[in-house]
Structure 1
Amino acid sequence: MRLFLLLFLGVSLSLSAQDKIGIVKHNHLALQVKDIQASAKFYGDFLGLERIEVPADLKAIRAWFKIGTDQQIHLLAGRTEPVVNDRNGSHFAVFVESMEKAEAYLKARNYPYHAQVRFDGVKQIYIPDPDGYLVELNEMKK
């Protein structure tokens, strides 16, 4: 029994010491959308994300956008079912320069949003994209 426990412990320690998958950072988020043009207009024109060139044979069914320095959003045509969400459900979050500026931008355009203060004092704003995916805007904690 003692030998079994020593062998089990040795194998367990050996396995836990092995490297995991080795993820180093986030690359992109892919969202399936109903109308690629409407969604591209929202992410590009409304949110102001920089568009990334898509291979020519994919332009009709894809739109890619840069977020920050090295992350992306990939829009994929083909959604047929509605996205069902609420502000406590699935969403992705991005940092903005100024929450006041972001909220003023939304108000000036009568764009629907929900604002709240997180438990640690950070203000959050949730906005729906054309498909109903929720985008959380928040300011880096000072």
Structure 2
Amino acid sequence: MAQNSNPFSLKFDHLALSVKDMNRSAEFYMKVFKLSEITNRTANPSIRWISLNEGKELHLITSSEPVSVPKTVHLAFSTGDFEGFRKHLTDLKITYGDWGGTPNIITTRADGIKQIYLQDPDGYWIEVNNGGQ
């Protein structure tokens, strides 16, 4: 096994997204992905922090700057209940699709992992797959 060549022991900490309506975005992530809000230790009222579990965080930062992000830049979650999550999206009337953008279709990678893609209220792409479980 290769030695760790990272002398700084870097670990992923958080992802910060620029959003137009912080409250709408926070509600989206909490409702759709069943995530929980955590204490914003900056005490800045224009930022909300959401737990991504395992000590990872999503920081939603209010900004009036327009956002344009291609699908190749995306946040990805894996779930052990892929079909249950798809039903949850359908129940919430949230559009999802395959990599090509065909609505309600699943992408299946060559290794058998199933993937769907959806967008948050600001247009950021999110993948949900059944890998890593």
The answer to whether the superposition gives a TM-score over 0.5 is yes
Percent sequence identity is 31
- Aligned residue for 2:31? 45
CA distance in 1, matches of 2:126, 2:92: 17
- Aligned residue for 1:8? none
Query: Of 93, 107, 123, which residue of structure 1 is paired with 2:90?
Result: 107
CA distance in 2, matches of 1:75, 1:103: 24
CA distance in 1, matches of 2:132, 2:47: 34
CA distance in 2, matches of 1:138, 1:27: 21
CA distance in 1, matches of 2:8, 2:26: 32
Q: CA deviation at 1:103?
A: 0.6
- Aligned residue for 2:127? 136
Which of 1 and 2 has greater Rg?
A: 1
Is the partner of 1:76 in helix, strand or coil?
A: strand
Are 2:15 and 1:29 aligned? Answer: yes
- The structure with more helix, counted as a fraction of residues: 1
Are 2:55 and 1:70 aligned? Answer: yes
- Does the C-alpha gap of structure 1 residues 21 and 33 become closer, same or farther in structure 2, counting only changes over 3 Å? farther
- Aligned residue for 2:78? 95
Q: How many residues are paired up?
A: 121
- Aligned residue for 2:117? 126
Q: Which runs of 4+ in 1 moved over 6 A?
A: none
Runs of 5+ in structure 2 lacking a partner? Answer: 98-105
